[in-house]
Amino acid sequence: MKKEDDYIDWEKEAPHLYAIPKENAFKVPKRYFNELHPHLLSQVTLEDLGKESVFEVPENYFNQLQSQIISQIKIDELINQNNGFKAPENYFKEAQQKIKIAVKTPKKSTKIFNLNFIRYAAAACILLTTSVGIYFNISRQQNVSYQLSKLPNEAIENYLLLHTDANDLPAILNHLDNKSVFSLNKDQLTDDQIKDYLEYTP
C-alpha cells in the first residue's frame, strides 16, 4: 500500500480493509483469455466485412420511397376519416347476421327443365318417328301391290319385254309360281316363240 500516494493511514483509518489480502476473487472460464484474443480478431474482421453492402437500390429509390409512404399515410387518413354518412345503429352488426343466415339457408333451386319429362318426351319422339316410318313403308308396299294387281297381264308383259334384260330374269323367275308355268299349254306357244325364248335365254 503506497501511503504517500493515497493519503490514507490504512492501519489507523481502515484496519479491517488493510487486513484483507489484495487478491482477485473473480474467476473466468478456463482458457477464456486464450480464446478471447482470436475471437476479438474475428469480430473485427466481420465488422470490416459488414461495412460494404453488396445490395443496390434503384436510383432515387429512397426519395421515392419516402414520398410513397407519406402518400399512403395520407390516403389511409382520408379513408379512416368520417365521410359524413351515417348508417343506422347496429346496421353493420345486423347486416352481418343477415348475411350469415342467408348464406347458411339452402336455396330451393327451380329447374327450368324437368329431367324426367325430357326423357319421356324423347322416348315418345323416337317411338312416333319409328312408327310413322314403318307405317308409310308398309302402306307404300301395299299400295304398289294393289296398283299392280289392277294392271292387265299384257301391260305387265310388255313392260317386262321392254325394260328387262338377262340380269332381271332371276328376280322374275322367283316371282313365277310353278303352277302358272306348268299350266301353260304347249299348244298355245308357237315354234317361233319357243325358238326366241331359247335363243335369248342363257
200: how many CB neighbours lie within 10 A of its CB? 10
Distance, C-alpha 37 to centroid of its chain: 67
Give whichever of 37 and 111 is closer to other proteins, judged by the CB atom: 37
Q: Does 14 bind other proteins (CB under 8 A)?
A: yes
Closest distance between other proteins and the C-beta of residue 62, in Å? 25
Give the cell for residue 176. Answer: 313365277
CB of 77 to other proteins, least distance (A): 34
**Window of 22-30, 96-104, 141-149, 180-188 that interacts with other proteins by CB under 8 A:** 22-30
Comparing CB distances to other proteins, the nearer of 34 and 116 is 34
Q: Does 9 bind other proteins (CB under 8 A)?
A: no
Buried b (16+ CB within 10 A) or exposed e, 37-65: eeeeeeeeeeeeeeeeeeeeeeeeeeeee
Stretch that binds other proteins, among 7-15, 99-107, 181-189, 193-201 (CB under 8 A): 7-15
- Contact residue for other proteins among 3, 4, 6, 191 (CB under 8 A): 6
Number of residues that bind other proteins (CB under 8 A): 30
CB 10 within 8 A of CB 18: yes
CB atoms within 10 A of CB 15: 9
Look at the chain and count its residues.
202
Binding test (CB under 8 A) with other proteins, winner from 3, 4, 11, 27 = 27
- Contacts (CB under 8 A) with other proteins, residues 36-95: 36-37, 39-41, 43-45, 47
d(Cα 28, Cα 36) in Å, to the nearest integer? 11
Q: State how far the Cα of 80 lies from the Cα of 73, in Å rounded to an integer.
A: 10
Residue 30 makes contact with other proteins by CB under 8 A: no
Joined together, the cell numbers standing for residue 184 give 301353260
- Residues engaged in binding other proteins (CB under 8 A): 2, 5-8, 13-17, 20, 22-29, 32-33, 36-37, 39-41, 43-45, 47
